[in-house]
Structure formats: C-alpha cells, structure tokens
Structure 1
C-alpha cells in the first residue's frame, strides 16, 4: 500500500491526520488479545492480557523523493504494511526519524501497550537511547516527539538491525 504524505516541515508537522488517513485505507480485522502465557510463558494468577506489537521502520531519501516503510506485526503474525512517500525534502536521518515517529503513532493507534521497534539506523537508535548526543534542532524535536510517544506504552524498546537483517 503506497500513500503520499504531504508536509511542509517534517520536524514540526501534526502527523495525526496523515495517520488517520492511512488507517482509513487499511482493513483491520480487530485487536489481537493474548495472555501473558501466549507471549511470555506461564502467567501468574492475576496476569493481565497484553497487547504487544513489533514495529519495523526504514526510511529512504533518494534524489527522487523520500519515503518510509512501516510494518506493524502482531504476535499472531498478522502484519500491517505501509509504504509512505513524503513530498518534502528531508535528509536520510530525518526520514528515519519520520518513519519511527509515524510507526510509533500507528502502533499506538491499533492499541499496542508494549512495543519493540526495529530500525536499521544505528545513529537514530543510539540517539533515542541517549548513547549519542543530538545537536541539530530538528533532530532534538524528533527526540521530544519520541519521548512523548514512549509514554503512551507500558514498555518500549528500540533495537538496531544489521544491514543483513533489514
């Protein structure tokens, strides 16, 4: 599924309309409710149901326009896949951040409470986990968005994929 996402300034835009637009075209069969046993082994007596999702994001900034790939996977293997074309100029790092922000918003939108996200950008992963310092103002803005989005999940983990895995 390919959608065009228009935004004049990717670092300050409100992405909620774009996400709602994307979901309006996505047939979704309902939320996957699974117990802790299904995801993590034998539950305790009062184990709540969890909504866990895996998120794979990748951005690309070629000369012909930038875009992102977002895949949201549920524990039972049903994937929501999106190819998003951005109609604005952006660096490769900005596109990687856009993919992560949009993916996190979309994952939250489908009701995930636990998120494990994967990116092939070591720089982005290390900036999000505070290993690398961020100096550029627009990148700081992305980190602020991600910090806010992380608060919407009970657990969040961002993992870097090697090039052979992406």
Structure 2
C-alpha cells in the first residue's frame, strides 16, 4: 500500500513519535541512514506537534467530509539528492506528516510537483472531499491555477496530472504562501533531500509520476 493508514499502523515508530517536528528534524543526526534501509515504496510517518492530540485509531472520514482539510507541500533539491514533504491538517487541527526521498533525477520544479501529487494522492486515499492546498512555489501554484503559461513539456504533463487529481475533490483551492509559512513541509522536504532512505522515517520513491 503506497499510502498506508498511519494511525492504524500505530503512532509510535522506533521510539521517536513523541517528538515534535522541530525536535525530530533537529535530532535526525542521531539516526544511522544505513540501518534497515528500505528502497521500495513511498512511506508515510506520523509525528505530532506539541499539544496536538493523536487518536489511537482512524475515525471515519465521513464525519468531516463537508469540512475543509489543509495540505502544505514542498519539494527540495540539493547536492545530496531530492526530496519532498507534505503536511495534512484535519478540520480539528490534527497534523500528519509525509517525508520521502526521490531516487531519480529531478529539478526543483519537478520535485515540487512530485510533492504536490503525492500529497493529493494521500488526501484522496483518506477520502477527503474538500481540500485547501498551500505551497511556496509561485510558479507551480500559478501553473496549477492556470494563471501562468506552462511552456515546458515536462511541467505541462505534471500540471495535467494535478488537474486530473483535482477532479476527485468536491471543492479545491490552491494558493501561494511565503516560505516561512510553509516551514514544516519545507523541513520535511529538506530532510528527504539530504538523508538516505530510512525505514519507517524516510522511504524512497524510485519512479517519477511523469516519465
């Protein structure tokens, strides 16, 4: 299952699920990226911000199907590689995190699109119907909104894939925000781009959505 149910599989993963996002990112050097490496599928990992409740099991989404969820996404490319991050926030304010490493060549723009597409698949897998998306790449956001011409064939294919996914939602909006407002997704993407695949923390995506 490419997008496992993070709550049903448990919130305590390798003893670090009680850390806040900032604590986890700051302490990543404590983890050996070469232990228990798994390079098969995109993985999801749930940790919580301080004082954010995490239920023991997933509650039926139909209770919130008419309420708006929020999705923050970001892609990152560095000399060490490329990665993506996404933060999904429920109407009750519960936060879920997705961190992954791209094991293929990509630019900053394609990394952004990959992160967005994974986030949309993630939301769709949960049965979310109403989604507000936030990203700090004005180019990607404006292309998806149809406010910026997409001349590059590869980016055009990515944009069309996003448009296909948008059709699954009853209501959808995407807007650009400053990077400082997208800090959580930005940090997750940076971790994915910098660190190797780590089981239950950062898993790899070996193939892009657009070939």
Measured against the shorter chain, the TM-score band is: 0.7 to 0.9
Q: Provide the C-alpha distance between the structure 2 equivalents of 1:162 and 1:154, rounded to a whole number of angstroms.
A: 27
2:135 and 2:141 in contact (8 A); partners too: yes
The equivalences for 1:1-166 within 5 A come to: 20-23=1-4, 26-28=6-8, 29-34=58-63, 50-166=66-182
Q: Provide the C-alpha distance between the structure 1 equivalents of 2:60 and 2:113, rounded to a whole number of angstroms.
A: 26
Q: Higher strand share goes to which structure? A: 1
**1:116 Cα shift?**
0.2
Which structure is richer in relative contact order (CA contacts within 8 A, separation 6 or more)?
Answer: 2
1:56 and 1:117 in contact (8 A); partners too: yes
Show structure 1 runs of 5+ residues with no match.
1-19, 36-48
Per-residue Cα deviation, 1:25-72 (whole angstroms, up to 9, x for no partner): x2242234446xxxxxxxxxxxxx515311000110111110011111
**C-alpha root-mean-square deviation of aligned residues, in Å?**
1.6
Moved over 4 A (4+): 32-35
Per-residue Cα deviation, 1:2-22 (whole angstroms, up to 9, x for no partner): xxxxxxxxxxxxxxxxxx334
TM-score normalised per structure 1: 0.75
Show structure 2 runs of 5+ residues with no match.
9-57, 183-211
